[in-house]
Amino acid sequence: MNYIETSSGKWEVVVGLEVHAQIISRSKLFSTASTEFGISPNENVSFVDAALPGTLPVINSFCIDQAIKTGLGLNGTVNLVSFFDRKNYFYADLPQGYQISQFYHPIISGGYIDIENENDELKRINLDHIHIEQDAGKSIHDQSPTKSFIDLNRSGIALMEIVTKPDMRSADDAAAFLRKLRSILRYLKTCDGNMDEGSMRADVNVSVHRPETEYGVRAEVKNVNSIKFLTTAVNFEVARQIEILESGGKVDQETRLFDSSSGKTRSMRSKEDAQDYRYFPDPDLPPLILEQSRIDAIRETIPELPDAKASRLQREYGLPRYEARIISSEREMADFYEKALSGFNPDKDLAKLLANWIIGELFALLNKHGKNIANSCISPENMGELVTLIKTDVISGKIAKDVLELMWSSRKSPSHIVEKNGWRQITSMDTIENSVKEVLADHTDKVAEYKSGKEKLFGFFVGQAMKKTSGKAYGQMLNEVLKKILDEEETSVQR
């Protein structure tokens, strides 16, 4: 078990998450206004979103399809009948004075995600439910000392709230869950998972207790908008709560706000001040009744998900678990990887080599140019060809890095680049022997030192010989030839 140990003994941490995931959809949940991000304030606002008198919500059935897809992808049960409820509260960025949500009968019940902890142990995090709701607008308080501004572009955008059971036991668990959830949602194309744009946000419930005792009182931390902050927030809460308990105090059931600049949480409102949302079924919307055939049709569209894909990559290509998991964490990366391999019948080594080149070198390039794998300047076919050139000793790994750079800028194939620059590795025995002999002839003093026991000079001879071939000599061959010649000379001298 994953306990925290302090001078007073062991503590167990319990974490549950409520993740708000913005549904990928061109229009809002109950209106035809666009969901485009980054447009000027109050541009994407329909009469419904502004809650003009007499306006009524009309459900966007694509958003429902997206929620069904998510539910199926997360192993949940799609409820054939669900309802929309109103959550009533006043705020300036909530035009209706209520948020339409699903409180009593959500669209998805149950479900789970398997995560792996740092010891590669599989752990199942169960979901309580997933419900659909509309987002509120944005209040902007920092533009004027006396005024607040309201932007309703976000008002009415469809969200899924994915609520877990309290199944996580550490900040790492929570971070692994959120990463995995984001990966699956991206595979499903139901949420883009961009936490910095706010299209995925998490509220996290944290409590601590002594092992083998009842769960502690939990605090809900709001406004956690990155995986790094999630870890910080959970760790801060755990430390805070343990400190309170160890000094004989009691943890309050309260809502706390995470401040990303300080990495701390602070009290927002206590349980006593908790709002009464007066949930009741929204009379403007009939029950959401789903046909089994609709659910079945959506099931057909679900792609192979990361877990299944990682297992298959291991099985089909003999890829090690670690590489398989990284490659399959993003659908585009996995597609790229498989496409790169599709040109030939790869062996285990090549499969691993390709994975490492994608994870290492290609990713560094993508980051450098601010691109992602989907809009990479290097095609999967060319990437496959590059590692084949390495694998078949046509070029060295060192040269391959230069080739990759040129592949990016010129978009040409690696073999074209290698030929054009004459970068083909020199594997001709004669050429290598000649350059070695030349080097040894040029440095007879050093050869003598070498022979008197200064064996470190071997590297010097390699470097000089490489220089003579402009770095293109096949390293392994060069080493062998050099060794052979030096040995021969030695025996000839002794003789």
Partner 1 sequence: MYNLSLYDIRKGLLSRKFSSVELTKLFLDRIEKFDGLNAFITVCADNALESAAQSDKKIADGSAGELEGIPLAIKDLFLTKGIRTTAGSKMLENFIPPYESTVSRKLLEAGAVFLGKTNMDEFAMGSSNLTSYYGGVVNPWSRDKKLVPGGSSGGSAAAVAGRLCVAATGSDTGGSVRQPAAFTGTVGLKPTYGRCSRYGMVAFASSLDQAGPITQTVRDAAIFLRVISGYDENDSTSSRESVPDFESFVGKSLKGLKIGIPKEYRIDGMSDEILKFWEIGAAMLREAGAETMDISLPYSKYALPSYYIIAPAEASSNLARYDGVRYGFRAKGVSLNETYENTRAEGFGDEVKRRILVGTYVLSAGYYDAYYMRALKIRKLIRQDFQSAFEKVDVVLTPTTPNSAFAFGEEPKDPVTMYLNDIFTVTANIAGLPGISIPIGLDEQMRPLGLQLIAPYFKEELLIQAGSALEKSANFPTLKEIYHELH
Contact set with partner 1 (CB under 8 A): 47, 50-59, 86, 88, 90-92, 95-98, 148, 150, 276, 278-280, 283-286
List all residues 6 or more positions away from 111 whose beta carbon is below 8 Å from its beta carbon: 71, 74, 75, 76, 77, 126, 127, 129, 130
Task: Write the DSSP assignment of 399-457 as a string of letters.
Answer: HHHHHHHHHHHH---HHHHHHHHT-PPB--HHHHHHHHHHHHHHTHHHHHHHHTT-TTH
Closest separation between CB of residue 20 and partner 1, Å?
22
CB of 95 to partner 1, least distance (A): 6
Residue 35 CB, nearest approach to partner 1 (Å):
20
Q: How far is CA 412 from CA 405, 415, 482, in A?
A: 11, 9, 36
Instruction: Identify which of residues 55 and 226 has a Cβ nearer to partner 1 in the complex.
Output: 55
Smaller CB distance to partner 1: residue 49 or 338? 49
Q: Which is nearer to partner 1, 3 or 277 (by Cβ)? A: 277
Distance, CA of 312 to CA of 228 (rounded, Å): 30
Question: CA 335, 67, 100: angle at the middle one, nearest 5?
Answer: 145
Residue (287 or 343) nearer to partner 1, CB:
287
Cβ proximity to partner 1, 9 vs 97, nearer residue: 97
For 36-41, the CB contacts below 8 A with 24+ separation are: 37/197, 37/199, 39/153, 41/149, 41/151, 41/153
Between 147 and 456, CB nearer to partner 1: 147
Q: CB of residue 166 vs partner 1: minimum separation in angstroms?
A: 23
- Supply the minimum distance, in Å, between the C-beta of residue 48 and partner 1: 9
Beta bridge pairs of residue 221: 204, 256
Write out the E strands in 138-290: 138-140, 149-151, 158-164, 200-209, 219-224, 254-259, 264-270, 280-281, 288-289
Task: CB nearer to partner 1: give 142 or 212.
Answer: 142
Q: How far is CA 329 from CA 118, 164, 230, 494, in A?
A: 16, 21, 19, 62
Separation of alpha carbons 443 and 174, rounded Å: 62
Tell me, what amino acid is at 117? Answer: N
Phi, psi of 248 (to 5 degrees): 85, 5
To the nearest whole angstrom, how small is the minimum distance from the Cβ of residue 82 to partner 1? 14
Shortest reach from residue 150's CB to partner 1, in Å: 7
How far apart are CB 137 and partner 1 at their closest, in Å? Answer: 10
Of 56 and 429, the one with the shorter C-beta distance to partner 1 is 56
